[in-house]
Amino acid sequence: MPIARRHHVVPRFYLSRFADNRAQLRRVPLGDSKSHLIAVGDATVQTDYFAVEGDAGPADAFQGQLSGIEGKGRGCARAPARRAGVADFDG
């Protein structure tokens, strides 16, 4: 199984709530850079952000643990959204 290298610093399901109907966000960099549209799948992504080097080489066990926690968080965020009549999370 390949090692996960692209890591969302902000969970993708959360970013999806702010995206347009094409799953894009407007990125506004700090400084003099101009804003631009970016796909939710590419927003807040850092390569090898959670990478851990083990005896057998790079490993992504930490990322796997975080993904499990993120999945539970997504479930927790769904219940109040549904009660409030807000559409479900897309990502």
Cβ atoms of 17 and 80 closer than 8 Å: no
**How would you write the pLDDT of the chain (91 residues) with one tens digit per residue?**
666 677 778 888 888 888 999 999 999 988 878 999 999 999 988 877 666 666 665 566 666 677 777 777 777 767 776 777 666 554 4
Q: How far apart are CA 15 and CA 77, in angstroms?
A: 13
- DSSP code for 20: -
Provide the whole-model pTM.
Answer: 0.57
Q: Which residues contact 11 (CB under 8 A, 6 or more apart)?
A: 70, 73, 74, 91
Q: How far is CA 53 from CA 5, 66, 71, in A?
A: 13, 17, 25
